[in-house]
Amino acid sequence: MSDNTAGILFIASLVVALVLTHKPLGDHMYRVYSGVRHSAVERVVYRLLGVRPEAEQKWGVYARSLLAFSVMSLLFLYGLQRLQDKLFLSLGFPPVTGHLAWNTAVSFVTNTNWQAYSGESTMGHLVQMAGLAVQNFVSAAVGMAVAIALVRGFARKKSETIGNFWVDLVRGTLRILLPIAFAGAIVLIAGGVVQNFSAPHTVTTLTGGVQHITGGPVASQEAIKELGTNGGGFYNTNSAHPFENATSWTNWVEIFLILLIPFALPRTFGRMVGQLRQGYAIVSVMAILALAGVVLTNVFELSGDATVPQAVGAAMEGKDVRFGVSNSATFAAATTLTSTGAVNSFHDSYTPLGGMMTMFNMMLGEVAPGGVGAGLYGMLVLAVITVFVAGLMVGRTPEYVGKKIGAREIKLASMYFLVTPVLVLVGTAVAMGNRAGLAAMLNTGPHGLSEILYAFTSASNNNGSAFAGVTVNTPWYDVALGLCMIFGRFLPIIFVLALAGSLAGQAPVPESAGTLPTHRPQFVGMVVGVTVIVVALTFLPALALGPLAEGIH
């Protein structure tokens, strides 16, 4: 079977699996977030947190609760790393340096999981489990909570509240993420992924050298790393390491876990607003953009647009022979279309246009289907912008799901989408314009610019994957990228929650002859167009100086 045929079957089987799970998982999440009963375990957690689960919160209180939880998580994770040598299961590793501990704490709390270190030689088992893996769960649950809060804004009528952050956080963690991650870990263990608490094993290589091989609780972290669209690997080579991703079929499982919740959440949206067809429209936009991203990445990599790749028929540099070109390209597209950032190949070795696609996927705002929760609320904000633009163009009333889109709503939506481009472009410009930024570059010319552009795109979009070629474990990059992660995560969240509060306080607007139908193919095409055009107008000059210039060189 040719690589092309195998790649098509690989992608087709993923599509079928996601279609089959869309309804049951989407309905389950609807029941989780709409239910009024609390389990015994959840009540214990609420008592420990000192919160009243029955108390609803206004958007400002919801936002302050989220920010307070995130600050405490950041401080805890930072302290855990700094005290690593005094904890058990530290494997003898020293404390993590201050600037790296800051960068890592921010990275995992913001669901970015950018890693400027080698996990197997930096973090002990306790920090990996109690620090990084725990944040994989709760940071993903935070994103889901924000998405549900925005959906409540559309669904509620003349309401001052949008839910309770602590309830949404606990339910998302215990009822959705934990059970699926547990099952995923069992499957990965069966496929050969490591799960133990062993110290490093010293082995002699075939050439007579000495190598220290670290085991650890890998499968449990790997499952939530993909399911929660986190991406932080136990090992430096991430999902290219056989202890994290053992075979081609575990590669399929990991991609499936990445896409599972983001593609099911639109069903939850449709159920909560009482219009399933609205959910179908949103998931259609996600599917069109995702399929285009996956196909184009595969085409550019399989075409091998360079002398050596053309001679051998494909671009295998930086890719594992276990997965081949197509499955590596599909993995790269899936992790950059979401906020996962996991890698099973070396993106820096991709063809210029293939590498550009991984950047472009992130520049879309990671809405196809995006991160867990973040993809849905990003896509709903895009739908709001599309409705407004359509109203200006054809004289339609700017309404979406029965809510009027006025000046306040469109200002919040616009500020949401201005945050990331500002961080990416300003960050890249500052890095290229100072000695500390330039000193870390291993390449010059268009490819060197692409590496810097990729780093700030990844950090600002809370993706976490790396193009490589830049030494980012320096005080300057750890601080700069850490700031991009914080602002790129929490400023959009604040705007989304403010939008949710504004929508929830409105009375529903009945449909009229002037209402734009937002469930038809026409609207789906408009949202796709607005998404691509916004990205093209914003980032095309930067892409032209980097991967496009390299591709036509």
Whether 86 contacts 438, CB under 8 Å: no
State residue 372's pLDDT score.
95
pLDDT-based confidence at residue 553 (cuts at 50, 70, 90)? low
Whole-prediction pTM: 0.94
pLDDT-based confidence at residue 308 (cuts at 50, 70, 90)? very low
Considering only CA atoms, which of 379, 358, 381 is closest in space to residue 453?
358
How does pLDDT run across 17-75, given as a tens digit for each residue?
999 999 999 999 999 999 999 999 999 999 999 999 999 999 999 999 999 999 999 99
* pLDDT of residue 203 exceeding 90: no
Where are the chain's structural domains? 3-274, 372-551
pLDDT-based confidence at residue 315 (cuts at 50, 70, 90)? low
State residue 2's pLDDT score.
61
Cis peptide before 547 (omega within 30 of 0): no
Whether 161 contacts 57, CB under 8 Å: yes
State residue 117's pLDDT score.
86
* pLDDT of residue 313 exceeding 70: no
Identity at 399, one-letter amino acid code: E
211: enclosing H helix or E strand? strand 210-213
Q: Which residues of 290-328 are buried (b: 16+ CB within 10 A; e: fewer)?
A: bebbbbbbbebbbbbbeeebeeeebbbbebbebbbbbbb
Identity at 537, one-letter amino acid code: L
- Three-state secondary structure string covering 83-94: CHHHCCCCCCCC
Whether 353 contacts 300, CB under 8 Å: yes
Report the pLDDT averaged over residues 95-105: 93
Angle (nearest 5°) at CA 371 between 78 and 419:
75
Other Cβ atoms closer than 10 A to 249: 11
State residue 549's pLDDT score.
85
Report the pLDDT averaged over residues 136-157: 96
* pLDDT of residue 545 exceeding 50: yes
Question: What is the rounded distance in angstroms from the CA atom of residue 144 to the CA atom of residue 189?
Answer: 27
State residue 73's pLDDT score.
96
Identity at 129, one-letter amino acid code: M
